[in-house]
Amino acid sequence: MSEREDGPSGERGDDPVAWAAVGELYHRYLTGLLLALVMRHGAARAADVVFATFRRQHLELFLPGLAKLGLTELPPAVACAQYHVLSNALGGVRVEWIPESDTKSWVRYLPPRWIFDGTAVCGIPTEVSRAMLRGWHGHNGVSLGNDRLGFVATMQTTDGQPGLEGYYIEEDRPLEVEERVRFRPGERPSSPSEPLASPRWSNERLAKVERNYSVAYVRTILPALCSVLGPADGAALGRVAGRQIGMQYHTEIMGRLTGGGDSGSSDAFAGRFARLLTAHGSRFEVELAGDRVKLIADRVFEPAAAPAVFEGWNGLWEGLAAMEGLELVVTDRLDRGDRSTTWEVRGR
């Protein structure tokens, strides 16, 4: 639902296979976290986490994204609708734009819903979907300094309707906080969708965007999880969901890096693990020495959130290692006075 940076400047190395592997792993982790949240902590807490995740992404990315996509001169309702179409298209998500007027502009997020991937859509309560809209769409007017701009949702996939659909509308009066997102099931647009030309970016740049699309969700949802549930419960949920996803998708993720060959030794796993970390680009600086992997610099997660967020995030890598009969032992951690982390890969 939001524009993602196309990759930090100064990124070294080209590894589209590993970029795709990281993007896929984080995509699955995001969906798994949402389902685990709903199952273990209920719809209300899950909605709180989702609201915090999307509000943070909005504050970081919306205004820069408008400028990057060349939409700042359009009427606010039109600019907001086109923003969601273009930014999500870069991440591989299908969204349609349905024009109506300068003050009313529709968007439709088509199934299959990327964030509620596959059969997971059946386990997502409508409250969670509504929290996304309140976290992002309901704040567009605030960010633009336009207190008359709001969003009206008319369909929800989580209610069994054929897409998440709604419109940005600029009213003739200031909106109250609770009016910034409204729900009016049954309203439909009077005109068909209209295609928008996506930015002409290179295949390499688009590959990085797709990776960053998934990374941005994990980067923002883990701190939100630990904030809403508390560090202990957030870390525990993040870790168990991470281990489950790492184990569930081990064959697919590691198969991409090995070409479907044998997994190999602890040294071989350490090499693939280092490759996955390096595929984050200049966000990470990674060193590999035998069966040891050192993350020298972490520019994904905020330092203040490091201990609990790290524990949850580390579950992904533990799950991958477990499927090869290996154990990841952390010998240096983010919360021990510096920003480096060292893992040793050991046999069980």
Superfamily of domain covering 230-347:
Trafficking protein particle complex subunit 3 (3.30.1380.20)
3-state secondary structure of 112: coil
Task: Read off the pTM.
Answer: 0.90
Spatial separation of the C-alpha atoms in residues 266 and 328, rounded to whole Å:
10
pLDDT, tens digit, 9 for 90 and up, residues 142-152: 999 999 999 99
Residue 259: predicted pLDDT: 66
338: pLDDT strictly greater than 60:
no
Spatial separation of the C-alpha atoms in residues 178 and 95, rounded to whole Å:
25
Phi and psi of 260, rounded to 5°?
85, 5
The domain locations on the chain are 16-183, 230-347
Same fold, 16-183 and 230-347: yes
How many residues are given for the chain? 348
Measured distance between the N- and C-terminal CA atoms of the chain, rounded to whole angstroms = 42
Spatial separation of the C-alpha atoms in residues 218 and 27, rounded to whole Å:
8
- Pick the residue with more confidence: 12 or 346? 346
Pairing of strands 341-347, 292-298: antiparallel
Residue 230: pLDDT band (50, 70, 90) is very high
- Pick the residue with more confidence: 265 or 139? 139
Q: Which fold would CATH assign to domain 16-183?
A: Muramoyl-pentapeptide Carboxypeptidase; domain 2 (3.30.1380)
12: pLDDT strictly greater than 70:
no
Residue 333: pLDDT band (50, 70, 90) is low
Residue 206: pLDDT band (50, 70, 90) is confident
Q: Which amino acid is at 232?
A: A
pLDDT, tens digit, 9 for 90 and up, residues 92-132: 788 999 999 999 999 999 999 999 989 999 999 999 999 99
pLDDT, tens digit, 9 for 90 and up, residues 37-63: 999 999 999 999 999 999 999 999 999
Looking at residues 171-187, what average pLDDT do you find?
97
Q: Residue 320, Cα to own-chain centre: how many angstroms?
A: 20
CA atoms within 13 A on the CB side of 37: 29
Looking at residues 244-269, what average pLDDT do you find?
86
